[in-house]
Structure 1
Amino acid sequence: MKDLIETIVKPLVDFPEDIQVSIREENRAVTYLLSVNKNDMGKVIGKQGRIAKAIRTVVYAAGTSQEKKIFLEIK
């Protein structure tokens, strides 16, 4: 899942080397924390959050095979 998130985000940003994805696991949930360069934040979020919503949709769809709930936070 981490690789999927990086693959989606890298073409969107100017500083792909600053992309970091960390994982926080809890009882029945897995949260992926996406961190990008502050100059790329607008590109990842998009107008009215459309790009962020699309990224979350793909990640959630890919995670349906798991028994846990998937979340994506963008920092």
Structure 2
Amino acid sequence: MSETIDAGFIEQVVKMLVDNPDAVKVERKVDEMGVLISLDVDPKDMGIVIGREGQTAKALRTLLRVIGAKNNARVNLKINEPEGSERAMRNQASATPEKKSIDDVVGEIEKM
């Protein structure tokens, strides 16, 4: 496989997605397990790269798998979490809003 096709591809795609493309760093390692692409981005861009429920990261991994299959190699993507970043706990991030009855909602609207 050409040394830089997979790494160059992922670097270009991620740079087009993020707000700070200068902070994108891609490192490629080859071992007996295959190719590992390590991706570093600005902490503010992590949400963009991962996407809602991880869908963007999953899509990037799928595209790399296709490139690897075409070149008879196993390619994996590791997205490195930036130092000092803090993630909200899953239950805090997806807290459900307070449920109200129809009468309460109608009462609030009438007060407006």
Q: TM-score when scaled to structure 1?
A: 0.91
Distance 2:56 2:71 in 1: 24
Give 2:57's aligned residue: 52
Which of the pair has the greater relative contact order for Cα pairs under 8 Å at 6+ separation? 1
Query: Aligned ranges for residues 16-27 of structure 1 at < 5 Å?
Result: 16-27=21-32
Structure 1 stretches of 4+ with a deviation exceeding 2 A read: 65-68
Superposed CA offset, 1:6-38 (max 9, x none): 121112111100100001211131100011001
Q: Tell me which protein shows more strand as a share of its residues.
A: 1
RMSD: 1.1
Instruction: Tell which structure's C-alpha radius of gyration is larger.
Output: 2
Q: TM-score when scaled to structure 2?
A: 0.63
Does 2:46 match 1:41?
A: yes
Say which of 13, 33, 36 aligns to 1:28.
33
Tell which deviates more after alignment, 30-39 or 62-71.
62-71
How high is the sequence identity, in percent, across the aligned residues?
36
Unmatched tracts of structure 1, length 5 or more:
none
Give 2:17's aligned residue: 12
How many pairs align? 75
